[in-house]
Amino acid sequence: MESILVLFFVILALPFVSAATLIVAHRGASAHAPENTMAAFQEAWRRGADAIEGDFRLTKDGRIVTMHDATTKRTTDRNLTVAETDWATLRKLDAGSWKGEKWRGEKIPLLSEVLAAMPEGKGIFIEVKCGTEIVPRLFEALAQAKVALGRVTIISFDKEVIRAVKQREPRLRANWLTGFKKAKDGKYQPDLDSIMETLQEIGADGLGAQAVDELAGELGVRLRGIQKEYHVWTIDQGGLARRYVAAGAHSVTTNKPGEMRGFLFDAEAAE
């Protein structure tokens, strides 16, 4: 009971919304345009996102492309395995018409193209969807784009990717990602103790956590205790987002960045 009371008063002491809370567009403004395309990223900027989040993989010939799945089946007009296909072939695919006829002809972009189109002062969360083999190419792309390190955050469910990034360049922000599963006994896995240990062990700057309402407050307290950043994905509901911000989240990742800005910064916004 004492620990619950402490948690309650810690949360009450936090501001309702921090001006520093980032709104991160999940795969771009993916509710409004085909995910992981330049159209989605441009729409995110238009709708007021502070940063975009995209998924990145290596092609057969070592190029970094924007693609969530291991294959192109779900979001293009052909079913190809990204790691087994060269960039010239992937470039020809239609990555937009699955979302609607108005997007027909939208292409799979390279990371370099996404970086080049970033507005001044905006950020990017680069989610690595493959393994550590991408790390050297990733640093090459960042160097060629001349993007300030402070505008870039690397994220991955693979803790070895985060470890490799931090070992190569400690100044580059890198966050480990985790989802949660609820066991029959009502406890969540991974447990919070093991999460904190992993973050410390790999040198991560923070955690990108799946949004689980009942874990929000405790995660905030635990992460502040070890001086790690607190990020949450993927939220489109204002009430849930506000609870995470109240618990200390540094960013909220959403499919609807424009709507989320209203939810968080307009007290009159309807959910």
- Residues annotated catalytic, as ranges: 26, 68
Question: What is the number of other CB atoms lying within 10 angstroms of the CB of residue 136?
Answer: 12
DSSP 77-142: SS--BGGGS-HHHHTTS--STTT-GGGTT--PPBHHHHHHTPPTT-EEEEEE-S-GGGHHHHHHHH
Length in residues, the chain: 271
Residue 43 region, left (φ>0) first, then alpha (ψ -120 to 50), else beta?
alpha
Q: Check if the beta carbon of residue 166 is closer than 8 Å to that of residue 199.
A: no
Name the residue with tokens 């293009």: 76
* Amino acid sitting at position 29: A
* Amino acid sitting at position 145: A
